[in-house]
Amino acid sequence: MKSALLSVYDKTGIVELAQKLIELDYRIISTGGTYHLLQENGVPVTYISEITEFPEILDGRVKTLHPRIHGGILARDQAEHIEELKSIGADLIDLVVVNLYPFEKVSQDPNASYAEVIENIDIGGPTLLRAAAKNHARVTVVCDPEDYQKVIEELEQGEVAPEERKRLAAKAFNHTAYYDSLIAQYLGQPQFPERMTVALVKKADLRYGENPHQKAAYYQLMPQAAVSIAAAEQLHGKALSYNNIYDAQAAWQLVSEFSEPCTVAVKHNNPCGLAVGADLYQAYLRTYEADPVSIFGGIVACNRTVDAKTAAEMSKIFLEVIIAPDFTAEALEILQKKANLRLLKLAPAQDSGLDWKKVAGGFLVQEGDTVDLEQGKLKVVTKREPTEAEWDDLFFGWKVVKYVKSNAIVFCKDRQLIGVGAGQMNRVQSVRLAAEQAGVKAKGAVLASDAFFPFADNIEEAAASGITAIIQPGGSVRDQEVIDACDRYNIAMVFTGIRHFKH
């Protein structure tokens, strides 16, 4: 008779699995709550202490950690191992079905004490899974109720196929690695440890990646961050695409920078329109006016509840996604008439986690770009100081330029984004692009640059378009030439001492 060890926290489907195993002439060994549940449902089951001849101790902390159990799992199907098992009164265990204490759920419960969280670190469960997975040449290991039916179907044909045992073993090791990563993060691993593990859980399979020929899936970092699009509640529309998610995250982080009513439109991970207003309706109108061409097919993020009036304006054009803290019932009624428009509900939040970039063979990992500015720490380097209105726009522009691909230049006026130069190989070209987009609106506007100006030709271009004030990090060997050019054109310039590259 073959033996199966069943010890699960998540009892989904376990009774049905055990009943099938009995029909297939398996002996069932079990522990604690699983044992009692099977017994209550009339399943013949052997309590683990009958095998170990040792009681559970330490409030159940130790029950499966015994040579008769782990020997039965780890033994190879060979005469020497069988004889050795017999010498200690043990038998082979052929199937191990285990899932773990709910550390993930408890660790994210704000009401759970530290002691409660630690108590939900499973020790015996991962040990059983790892032992069975190591010996998958003989033993079938199952850690997910979703696999019960497949295992039964294979056993009904005689045995679980070697390739299926291998797949289940890999799944078990992946499961315990994820579990241990959650624990390490909860306990506070160093920011940049020598060996880094992260816990990721699949949020969704995607239709494709950036292009239709690329397969893709969406994974969220655990514990889940409030700022993540993965935390959003989708109220309407078809599933998010790879590019939707990437752009939506950029839009949401940018709009979350502002406390006043604000909307932002994003295309290809760059803001094409952004403005604040007395209310959300005004902010959206000004965002649309900033670039009515590029916003088409874009992602719009709002930091206030979308009302009917704003929704009516939004519905006039094709948008891929709208993200907001909430939508009124009237707004939902208007926007849900567009079948393919995705509506996401998510509270504003700033990301304080690490920033990851994939490179061949690894990752670049850095702190997030979360440095804020205070006016008292800035340095006015020109003869003329900014006016109060220019200061408002300079701070506005500095928040925006952080989210534009380098070389990044933005033109802003009355706290509205009116021109963007993004992703260019030289900064003067970015200035020209921003000026071209802004047109006549550039007269009296301010300019924000994510990095210093290497030459004064940037100032010549800015002055020709009508810029009156500039904010930039400073630090070039030609800073004085740049300052002198600003003074010639009566442009006020402020150095921040902080760079905002975004590659």
Report the catalytic residues. 134, 268
Which pairs from 476-484 meet CB under 8 Å and 24+ separation?
A: 476/452, 478/453, 478/454, 479/381, 479/452, 481/455, 481/456, 482/452, 482/453, 482/455, 482/456, 482/458, 483/381, 483/382, 484/456
CB-based burial label for 192 (10 Å; 0-12, 13-18, 19+): exposed
Q: Rounded to whole angstroms, how far apart are CA atoms 402 and 350?
A: 14
- Residue 106: C-alpha distances to residues 180, 336, 368 (Å): 14, 36, 27
Q: Which residues contact 32 (CB under 8 A, 6 or more apart)?
A: 7, 56, 60, 63
Q: Rounded to whole angstroms, how far apart are CA atoms 137 and 1?
A: 19
Among 449, 473, 459, which Cα is nearest to 379's? Answer: 473
Helices and strands (H and E) in the chain: how many:
18, 21
Residue 320's H or E segment, with its range, is: none
Return the number of other C-beta atoms located less than 10 Å from residue 266's C-beta: 29
CB 370 within 8 A of CB 350: yes
Q: Rounded to whole angstroms, how far apart are CA atoms 91 and 85?
A: 6
Q: Rounded to whole angstroms, how far apart are CA atoms 401 and 410?
A: 6
CB 373 within 8 A of CB 275: no
Q: Rounded to whole angstroms, how far apart are CA atoms 24 and 2?
A: 9
Residue located via tokens 């924000």: 448
Q: Which residues contact 271 (CB under 8 A, 6 or more apart)?
A: 250, 251, 254, 264, 265, 400, 403, 404, 417, 420
CB 156 within 8 A of CB 95: no
For residue 363, the cross-strand partners are 358
